[in-house]
């Protein structure tokens, strides 16, 4: 009962957010409203225009083809129409050639189930055996009027569903991926800042363990951010709203940023894992000296600045990025030279120092390699390097006032 109440409260809160502000909850609510609207319009069309005695297929087709993007909506409509036509044609052909009996129905259904698993039909493949069964048991597969009217209803319902999805605020998912790219960048920066501050203070095994878990959690979110970027890019294709007011977003740059941050996090979690082992009370692995860690914290702090500037391509950001990465590399090179030339109190500690330095150097190089191609949202849109440096035209910000195309947080 408690879980049921929590679920209900969560849904109520989501509904409230959908009414108050743009976001995924409002997108989902709008999609549901449009699906219901498309089904009603298709039902009215089937009743008053097609004069269908059982106006079911048109509203069902309209209901099922309203999707998150116009590309998916058109694809779903095409798949559903193809599945219905295949099912009805197969049922009609089988009934005419061999008639309807238990053995012919078994054979026809078995073949239709195989056809329904065709990948090109997607989720609508189930319509093939469904239409075969419906046709065989209602009109014995031989009614041309039933077959014709069902196909016409399905086609009209699919067209109506796509049209409603396009005309009534065509889905344009720009805000969410921009917000998530910005959030991921902030989370990586905050983790590096926290690690730098912790190493200058009294860090311990538990704190290092928290850094390790936090780094893994942030890295695990990267694939879903990439998925949101792909959805956002797809939502601009075949979209009337985007065609009327062109929204130029550097989707490729966003994806480069997320992939870079994810690869960098692999190195950062490696650093945290080394510190976890070094901070254990039984000391299976020697801990680095406080002097080394204080200096090493400077490199992490510089890396945090570089992450903050990654994907921003105005002159100030470029300068800050270059300065931060150079500072991090300088500190790490100095530490590597000290470890190489200075005798260690504990000779078994050299792998710890080597691991920390190597992971950090790889993280900095990941940032440097992606600097020119990465992009992140800003208050004025995804700023890009000019055409002479990137071989592309600079990108404009989304149009002001577009609920789905607002600039994400910087």
pLDDT < 70: residue spans in the chain = 1-2, 6, 18, 243-245, 281-284, 347, 379-410
Query: Within a domain: residue 46?
Result: yes
Residues 83-118: tens digit of each pLDDT = 999 999 989 988 888 888 888 889 999 999 999 999
The answer on 202 and 149 residing in a single domain is no
Q: What number of other Cβ atoms are within 10 A of residue 130's Cβ?
A: 16
The answer on 277 and 234 residing in a single domain is yes
Residue 109 belongs to domain spanning: 30-167
CB 311 within 8 A of CB 264: no
The answer on 290 and 359 residing in a single domain is yes
Q: What is the pLDDT of residue 404?
A: 38
The answer on 180 and 56 residing in a single domain is no
The answer on 381 and 257 residing in a single domain is yes
The answer on 128 and 91 residing in a single domain is yes
Final residue of a domain: which of 147, 167, 187?
Answer: 167
The answer on 247 and 116 residing in a single domain is no
Tell me the HSE value of 206 on the side-chain side, using a 13 A CA sphere. 1
The answer on 131 and 46 residing in a single domain is yes
Query: Within a domain: residue 142?
Result: yes
Q: How many domains does the chain have?
A: 2
The answer on 356 and 244 residing in a single domain is yes
Query: Within a domain: residue 398?
Result: no
The answer on 182 and 126 residing in a single domain is no
The answer on 159 and 38 residing in a single domain is yes
Q: What is the pLDDT of residue 384?
A: 39
Query: Within a domain: residue 291?
Result: yes
376 Cβ neighbours under 8 A, 6+ residues apart: 181, 182, 185, 253, 254, 257, 310, 311, 312, 382
Q: What is the pLDDT of residue 385?
A: 36
Query: Within a domain: residue 7?
Result: no
Query: Within a domain: residue 4?
Result: no
Q: What is the pLDDT of residue 282?
A: 67
Query: Within a domain: residue 101?
Result: yes
Q: What whole-number distance in Å separates Cα of residue 306 and Cα of residue 76? A: 43
Specify the CATH number for the domain of residue 273: 1.20.58.220
Q: What number of other Cβ atoms are within 10 A of residue 44's Cβ?
A: 14
Enter the pTM of the model: 0.79
Structure tokens at 262: 């994810």
């Amino acid at each position: 009962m408690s879980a049921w109440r929590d679920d209900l409260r969560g849904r109520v809160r989501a509904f409230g957010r959908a009414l108050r502000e743009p976001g995924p909850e409002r997108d989902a609510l709008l999609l549901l409203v449009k699906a219901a609207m498309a089904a009603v319009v298709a039902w009215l069309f089937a009743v008053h225009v097609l004069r269908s005695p059982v106006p079911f297929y048109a509203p069902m087709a309209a209901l099922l083809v309203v999707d998150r993007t116009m590309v998916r909506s058109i694809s779903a409509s095409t798949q559903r129409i193809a599945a219905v036509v295949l099912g009805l044609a197969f049922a009609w052909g089988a009934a005419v050639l061999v008639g309807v009996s238990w053995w012919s129905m078994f054979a026809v259904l078995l073949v239709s189930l195989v056809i329904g698993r065709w990948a090109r039909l997607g989720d609508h493949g189930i319509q093939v055996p469904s239409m075969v069964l419906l046709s065989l048991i209602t009109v014995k597969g031989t009614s041309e009027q039933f077959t014709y009217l069902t196909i016409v209803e399905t086609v009209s319902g699919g067209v109506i569903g796509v049209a409603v999805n396009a005309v009534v605020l065509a889905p344009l998912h720009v805000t969410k991926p921009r917000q998530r790219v910005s959030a991921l960048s902030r989370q990586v920066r905050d983790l590096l800042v926290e690690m730098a501050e912790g190493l200058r203070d009294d860090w311990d095994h538990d704190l290092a363990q928290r850094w390790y878990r936090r780094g893994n959690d942030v890295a695990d979110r990267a694939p879903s951010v990439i998925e949101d970027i792909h959805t956002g890019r797809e939502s601009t294709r075949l979209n009337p709203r985007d065609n009327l007011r062109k929204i130029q977003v550097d989707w490729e740059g966003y994806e480069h940023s997320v992939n870079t941050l994810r690869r960098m996090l692999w190195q950062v979690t490696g650093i945290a894992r080394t510190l976890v082992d070094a901070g254990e009370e039984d000391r299976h692995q020697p801990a680095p000296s406080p002097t080394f860690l204080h200096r090493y914290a400077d490199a992490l702090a510089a890396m945090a600045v570089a992450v903050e500037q990654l994907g921003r391509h105005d002159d100030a950001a470029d300068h800050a990025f270059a300065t931060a990465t150079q500072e991090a590399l300088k500190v790490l090179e100095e530490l590597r030279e000290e470890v190489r030339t200075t005798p260690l109190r504990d000779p078994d500690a050299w792998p710890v120092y080597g691991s920390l330095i190597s992971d950090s150097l790889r993280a900095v190089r990941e940032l440097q390699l992606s600097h020119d191609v990465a992009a992140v949202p800003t208050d004025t849109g995804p700023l890009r390097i000019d055409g002479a440096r990137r071989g592309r035209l600079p990108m404009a910000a989304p149009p002001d006032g577009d609920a789905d195309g607002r600039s994400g947080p910087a």
